[in-house]
Structures are given as C-alpha cells and as structure tokens.
Homo-oligomer: A and B are copies of this chain.
Amino acid sequence: MKLNLLLTGNELMAGDIIDSNSAMIAEQFKYFGWRINKKVTVGDDLALLCEEIDQLCTSADVLIINGGLGPTVDDLTAVALAKVTNTEIAEHPDALAHLTQWCAKRGYGLNSSNHKQAMLPKGCEIIANARGSAVGIKLKHRGCLIFATPGVPSELRPMLTNEITPILEGSYHSDHIETLRLGAFGLGESAIQELVNEHLGDWPEDIELGFRASMPVLEVKLTARGELAKTKLPLWRTKVGELLGDHLLGELPISLPSATVAALKEHNLQICTAESCTGGLIASQLTGVPGASQVFPGAIVSYSNAVKHRLLSVSEADLAKEGAVSEAVVRQMALGAIASTGADLAIAVTGIAGPDGGTPEKPVGTVWIAWGTADQLKSQCFHLPFERNGFQNWVAALSLDLVRRYILKLPEGSELMKRYQR
C-alpha cells in the first residue's frame, strides 16, 4: 500500500503548533506494516489544497488528509475535496444527524457554523467521530482512497483506531509486524543502550530495538518484522525485561500512577498524600487512574505553614526551627496525613519549586520526600534542577516510584534516584 499524508492548517505553517498527529498516524499504521511515503503540509488555502490533493492522489493508494474539518471559514477540506472531485457540496444526511445529536446532547440547537460541518462532497461516505462534531470523510479520487480526518488529536485517535484502520486492514495485507512496548522509570536512555550493548551483543537483526524518552517514563520498543521474528519476540522481551530489572514498570500503556495504583490494589493497601511543593499533583495523578477510589481516601495540600500545622499537626516549633523544607516537617506531614485520612501509607513532599524562595543551603529544586507506613516511614532529600513545572513533575514521579518500590519490596535506589539524592 502506498500511503500519502496531507496536513492542513495555518497554525501548522506558522509554527504556532507542532504537528504530533502525523507521528500518531505513523505509529499506529507502522503496526500494520503501512509506511507513509510522503507528507505534505499546507495552510488554509483552497487553491493549494486542491492542487496537493490532486497530486498526492496520483502517486498513492491511500491519502489521509488531516485538519480543516472544523466549523469556521478557514476550514476548507470539504470544499477542496468537492472541487477536486468535481462534485457539489451538499447537506449530508448522516453528518447532519450526527451534528444534530451532538448539539442536542449538549443542550443547544444546530447553528449555521455547525451546519457547515454537514455540508460535504456529494456522494461521499462519512466516518464516525466519537469525540467531536466533525465527521470524517471517505471518498475516491483517481483510484486513490481518501480519508479526511479532524485535526484535534483526541478526535483523530479513536477515528484512526476504530474506523479507518479496520477499513484499511480489510483491503491491505499487513507485513506481519509485531510491536512490544515496555515502560521503565529511573534509567536514562543512554544507560539502557549501554546495558544492551554490554549484555545483548547477539541482538537479532530482524527485531528492531528503539527507545523514546517520554518524561518521566522511558519507552523501550521491540519491533519484530516477519513471522520468524515474531516467534523470537517473547524470548527477547524477557531478556530486555531482565536487563531493566526493577526499573521495568510493565507493558505500555502504563504510567507511574497506574503502576502504583496496581501495586496498592495487589497488596490491598490505601495511600494518602500530604503535598506542599507539588500542590496536589501526586493526588491528581493517582486519581486520574480509573478505580483509584479503592486505594486512595484523600490528600492534604498544605501549601502554607498554617495549614501544615492545622491539618497535619506539624509542630510549629519545628516549622520555625527547621523550616518547612526539612526532614522533621516532611515526616510529620506524612504521619499527619495517615492519621487524618486513615490510609495505610503516605507520600509527603515539601520543597522549593521556584522560581523564588531558594537559599544557599536550600536552593530552588530542593525537596524532602517521606514515604511508607507510620511504623516504617522513610525519608530522603533530593535536588532536582528543573524549572517549576518540570520540578513538580519529577517530584511526583520520584515519589510514586519510591512508594511503588516500597510496596513491592524492591531495592530503593533507581539510577535516577541516586543521581538526584542529596
């Protein structure tokens, strides 16, 4: 199958947004052995769009168009498709039904902007959009199958997976590619590459090994091409897993919060958090996982010292003497949170996110973390040299990994933890 891609949008040409959709499409299609031959991006310009659609169709079996299906005047994909295929734009009954339902569900009538989204090239088929108002368009031109898809990533993804891929799968053989993606935390990309070079020198040629740093989890991807390679995949997955050791979280999609929630469920434990510098980020990540209510009764965000004292019973004397960012305070925060939420375990964090508030002894990036049960509470100081939001994300990631290791009785120290320890 020869596949071309056409992206449209002034915001893409102007550099206002970075295109991640084409990577999403490539990732998804790669699994089936379908590779993108050529990708063209143009702004919201009707003449240019028409020219490109026509040209890209002559050299491909399939053309995916992304963007330009919205309700505003600069959304031109439907009009361009009609022009190129020499048809009219007409109200599409299925699209209209979808839009009417879409608006009704949200409690308002169809306005003329939304109605525009039902005006499609006569005779085209529509592709369902489970997440948004813009339906996709399917039609043929010069023997090339065209799919027009929405530019909003959260709408594109399900349309690709649930609608377009099955259609293409019916028509085009896959090259029998199989992919395995593992998630790891606490090891850098180059450290893993070193480990592989050192221990897996006999890596087979027909299995591709790739890495992608997708903060905070590192993705390790094994791609087997061909039937023979597929049979070898489990063995090499095991070998890579052994190499990653306790840094391995599991197969993707997995995240630190979901791995932590899974560990808590497995051991029938509940956790709470007491957060200063992360301001509720850890709690919010945990409760982003479906079913978190089973393992998470609640949290206290104690940004001010008064709240640390009032809600977590942190001693005012220690706050004054040791400072809010101290071992004494972080341990009392953890104990206070366990006492008031009734959880088995706590994560407590107090640190200096910046940009202000640092001192020579406690520079911006300093954080105390406490984790564990009331009886067996651990605590450690780290220095994480990142800007405010990066710092908050790293504190959350480190804390969750420390607790995950604690619950699963794994060694405390990931490579990263050692690097940032104070």
Contact = CB atoms under 8 A, between A and B. Distances in A.
A25 B12 CA distance: 12
Contacts of A106: 385, 419-420
Contacts of A40: 38-41
Given A17-B23, A113-B190, A281-B280, A210 B311 contact: no
B112 A194 contact: yes
The copy count of this chain in the complex is 2
A47 to B, nearest CB: 11
A174 interface: no
Contacts of A385: 105-106
Interface in A301-345: 301-304, 306-307, 310-311, 340-342
A210 B48 contact: no
A283 B301 contact: yes
Nearest to A181: B16
A72 B209 CA distance: 10
A144 to B, nearest CB: 17
Given A303-B296, A341-B307, A15 B10 contact: no
Interface string A1-37: 0000000001111111111101111110010000111
Interface stretch (A78-86, A287-295, A404-412): A287-295
Contact of A293 (B36, B38, B304, B310): B304
Contact of A299 (B23, B73, B189, B300): B300
A16 B292 contact: no
A268 to B, nearest CB: 16
B113 A194 contact: yes
A133 B419 CA distance: 15
A340 B356 contact: no
A413 interface: no
A152 interface: yes
A23 to B, nearest CB: 4
A95 to B, nearest CB: 15
A16 B221 contact: yes
B14 A30 contact: yes
Contacts of A216: none
Contacts of A291: 356
A205 to B, nearest CB: 13
A236 interface: no
Contacts of A43: 35, 37
A310 B193 contact: no
B38 A38 contact: no
A71 interface: yes
Contact of A298 (B36, B302, B357): B302
A114 interface: yes
A420 B18 CA distance: 29
A92 interface: no
Nearest to A13: B36
A115 B16 CA distance: 38
Nearest to A281: B284
16 contacts: A11-B221, A16-B221, A70-B189, A105-B385, A106-B385, A107-B420, A111-B190, A113-B189, A133-B190, A152-B213, A279-B280, A280-B299, A293-B303, A298-B300, A299-B303, A306-B342
Given A288-B389, A298-B301, 10 more contacts: A22-B41, A72-B193, A152-B213, A279-B299, A280-B282, A283-B283, A287-B353, A297-B306, A299-B301, A300-B311
Q: Which 9 interchain pairs have the tightest Cβ spacing? A: A279-B287, A15-B26, A280-B280, A280-B283, A113-B190, A298-B307, A15-B23, A299-B301, A297-B304
